[in-house]
Chain A
Amino acid sequence: MSIFWLRVALALYGVGLLYALVALTRTSDLLNRIALHAAYLGMVFHLVSLTEGVVFTGHITFAMVHNSESLLAFLIMSVFMITYLIYKTTSPGIIVFPLVFLLTFMAATRQQPFLNLTPGMRKGWLGAHIALIFIGYAALVLSFCASLLYLIQQRSLKTKRPGILSRLPALEEIDQIGHRSLLLGFPFMTLGLIAGSVVAESVYGRVDLQDPKILLSLLMWAVYLVMVYTRWIAGWRGRKAAVLASVAFAAAVVAWAANYFSTIHRFVAS
Chain B
Amino acid sequence: MRFQLIGVNHKTAPVEVRERLAIPESRLPEACKKLAEHPGIDEAMILSTCNRVEILANTKNGAGADLRGFIQSYFQLDGTELNKHLYEYNEREAVRHLFRVAASLDSMVVGEPQILGQVKEAYATARAVGAVRAQLDQLVTRAFAVAKRVRTETAVGSSSVSIASVAVELAKKIFGNLHGKQVYLVGAGKMSELAARHLMAHGCASIFVANRTYDRAVSLAYKFQGQAIHFEDLHNTCDRADIVITSTGAPRAIFRPEHGELFLSRRKNRPMFFIDIAVPRDVDPAMNKLDGIFVYDIDDLQQAVASHVADRRKEAERAEAIVATEVERFHARIQTLDVVPTIVSLQDHLETIRQAEIDRVRGRLGPLSPDQEIAIEALTRGIVNKIMHTPISTLKTAAREAEATTVIDLVKRLFNLQEKRAAKSGGENS
Contact = CB atoms under 8 A, between A and B. Distances in A.
Given A157-B170, A171-B173, A235-B269, 8 more contacts: A29-B152, A160-B303, A170-B172, A171-B175, A171-B176, A234-B269, A238-B292, A240-B291
Interface of B: 152, 155, 170, 172-177, 265, 267-271, 288, 291-292, 294, 296, 300, 303-304
B347 to A, nearest CB: 42
Kindly name the residue among B177, B265, B271, B303 whose own CB sees the greatest number of chain A CB atoms within 10 A.
B271
Interface string A144-157: 00000000011001
Interface residues of A, number: 21
Contact of A171 (B174, B288, B300): B174
Nearest to A170: B176
A237 B176 contact: no
Contacts of B174: 157, 170-172
Contact of B271 (A29, A162, A171, A240): A171
A173 interface: yes
Contact of A234 (B173, B175, B268): B268
A172 B294 CA distance: 13
Contacts of B294: 157-158
Contacts of B269: 234-238
Given A234-B268, A234-B269, A170 B175 contact: yes
B260 to A, nearest CB: 13
A160 B299 CA distance: 11
A232 B376 CA distance: 95
Nearest to B294: A157
A206 interface: no
Contact of B291 (A29, A153, A172, A238): A238
A237 B296 contact: no
B315 to A, nearest CB: 10
A166 interface: yes
B271 A239 contact: no
28 contacts: A153-B173, A154-B291, A157-B170, A157-B174, A158-B294, A160-B296, A160-B303, A162-B173, A170-B172, A170-B173, A170-B174, A170-B175, A170-B177, A171-B173, A171-B174, A171-B175, A171-B271, A172-B271, A173-B176, A234-B265, A234-B269, A235-B267, A235-B268, A235-B270, A236-B269, A237-B269, A238-B269, A239-B291
A263 interface: no
A89 B269 CA distance: 24
Contacts of A239: 291
Contacts of A27: 155
B382 to A, nearest CB: 48
Contacts of B296: 160
Contacts of B267: 235
Contact of B176 (A154, A157, A169): A169
